[in-house]
Amino acid sequence: MLIAMKGDQADVEIAASDDHVNAVGFEVVSVHRYTLPQNMGDRVLTFLKQSKAA
């Protein structure tokens, strides 16, 4: 399991890296969005797991 913390542009980053993530044997299994307190912005935790094909 790999967990990546991303900023508010996570959707763009995930879409842009999809081929690369798959090429190294991982797949995105879930995405959790959070808003930080005190107007510190949004964050996204992206959970990836090693795909069976790898």
48, 6 in Cβ contact below 8 A?
A: no
Q: Collapsing DSSP states into helix, strand and coil, what is residue 17? A: helix
β-partners of residue 33 are 44
Q: Collapsing DSSP states into helix, strand and coil, what is residue 11? A: helix
Please tell me the predicted confidence (pLDDT) of residue 51: 87
Whether the full predicted model's pTM is greater than 0.85, yes or no, is no
| pLDDT interval class at 52 (50, 70, 90) | confident
> For 3-41, what is each residue's pLDDT tens digit?
999 998 999 999 999 899 999 999 999 999 999 999 999
Measured distance CA(48)–CA(38) in Å, rounded: 29
